[in-house]
Amino acid sequence: MTRYGQQYGPDFTFLGVDRCDLDDESTYAGADVVILGAPFDGGTSHRPGTRFGPQAIRMTDYLPHDGSRPSLALRTDGLVDLRVVDAGDVEMYSGDIERSLPKLEAAVEQVTRAGAIPVVLGGDHSIAFPDAKGVANVLGHGRVSMIHFDAHADTGDIEFGSLWGHGQPMRRLIESGALRGDRFLQVGLRGYWPPPETLDWMAGQQMRSFEMTEIVHRGLDEVLTEAFTIATDECEGVFLSVDIDVCDPGHAPGTGTPEPGGLSARQLLDAVRRICLELPVVGVDVVEVSPPYDHADITAALANRVVLEALSAIARKRRDERDGTRWDPAQPLLSGRNGAIPQGHIPHQHTHQTHDQTDHSHDHSHDAAEEQG
């Protein structure tokens, strides 16, 4: 079977990394990361367009698509230090959610069985069900925790007469037994949904959901530290699911259900970096980027950087584990390079007047005095 490529538009890869074909195991054998596109918006309840998300996330970058991105902060190149390949899109017809989601689950499971981390570019958030379940099918049901960034809990039951949609994947994951409710962490919730009966269900599952008011009061770092403790207890790995609407619409306008008052782009990138540095991440998805509603590619650029932060941090984590080192976020950018200024040192540029310059200055003063006389 010929490689499918992108469902919409030409067949290019994420920032120029090598292609692979899931029907040819040799093309991704030994890969650390396999990127998959999930061009699906059949679960959308409001503004559509996320079927074009994978294409936008792959391409939105002002730098050359050369398969290399050295990170200033982490001193790694996530696209070079890791073997990252792009399998293109999984064919997902948005008019048939019950056929499309199992196809994605099979693809994610195949990647996971090959020993690679699946990074899935959505698509609406209904794809989180096959993404996380595909990983859990390999690592064990109940053995994978979830850290879920979102404005919305996505724990609805029946919406628009359907069990499936972008407001319900987290409930379906817990009900299926693939993920445990008491190892399910949600960050960034806010606004006016879900209703009280859904919150009661979430509490009954022992989910831990951090609403923005708590995050602002306690600080995001403290919240993440608590989440990490829960996520790593009795679980083999962590699945990271990022709904771009966790960010304030001023930072991510191109999404289907924008909710004011969210995280900043900086907070999200820092959080993703920290998660992938400190935790055993076994899968990632980035969802709900809707290019038709974006402005100047703001949202697509942020989603692209979420993927890069995750890959850069995974590369840094593996290097530190291999070399017995520990990344220091406080180190100056240029430290360790020839001529770099030590931290806390104030440089001084030493200037030396030449003999001729001193004489000329004296001559000018003498001439001025004679003129005044």
- Looking at residue 214, its pLDDT comes to 98
Residue 208's nearest CA partner among 147, 137, 158, 289 is 147
Q: Is residue 371 part of a domain?
A: no
Q: Is residue 47 part of a domain?
A: yes
Give the residue numbers spanning the domain of 134.
14-323
At 238, which CATH number? 3.40.800.10
- Angle of helix 169-176 versus helix 128-139 axis, rounded to 10: 20
- Looking at residue 368, its pLDDT comes to 47
Q: Helices in 144-293 by DSSP H: which ranges?
A: 169-176, 196-204, 212-218, 220-231, 265-278
Cα(150)–Cα(242) distance, integer angstroms: 7
- Looking at residue 6, its pLDDT comes to 94
Q: How many domains does the chain have?
A: 1
Q: Note whether 327 and 320 are within 8 A (CB).
A: yes
Lowest mean pLDDT among 132-141, 152-161, 215-224, 252-261: 152-161
End-to-end Cα distance, the chain: 100
- Looking at residue 371, its pLDDT comes to 47
Cα(75)–Cα(279) distance, integer angstroms: 19
Q: Is residue 167 part of a domain?
A: yes
Q: Is residue 337 part of a domain?
A: no
Mean pLDDT (the chain) is 92
- Looking at residue 161, its pLDDT comes to 67
Residue 1 has pLDDT above 60, yes or no: no
Residue 212, classed as helix, strand or coil, is: helix
- Looking at residue 158, its pLDDT comes to 78
Q: Is residue 370 part of a domain?
A: no
- Looking at residue 159, its pLDDT comes to 76
Q: Note whether 122 and 54 are within 8 A (CB).
A: yes
Q: Are strands 84-89 and 237-243 parallel, antiparallel or unpaired?
A: unpaired
SS (H, E, C) 297-310: CHHHHHHHHHHHHH
Residue 89's nearest CA partner among 136, 40, 24, 28 is 40
Q: Note whether 92 and 85 are within 8 A (CB).
A: no
Cα(165)–Cα(160) distance, integer angstroms: 9
Kindly report the pTM of this predicted structure: 0.91
Q: Is residue 208 part of a domain?
A: yes
Classify residue 10 as exposed, middle or buried by CB count within 10 Å of its CB (0-12, 13-18, 19+).
exposed
Phi-psi region of 298 (alpha: psi -120 to 50; beta: other; left: phi over 0): alpha
Q: Is residue 368 part of a domain?
A: no
Residue 168 has pLDDT above 60, yes or no: yes
Q: Is residue 165 part of a domain?
A: yes
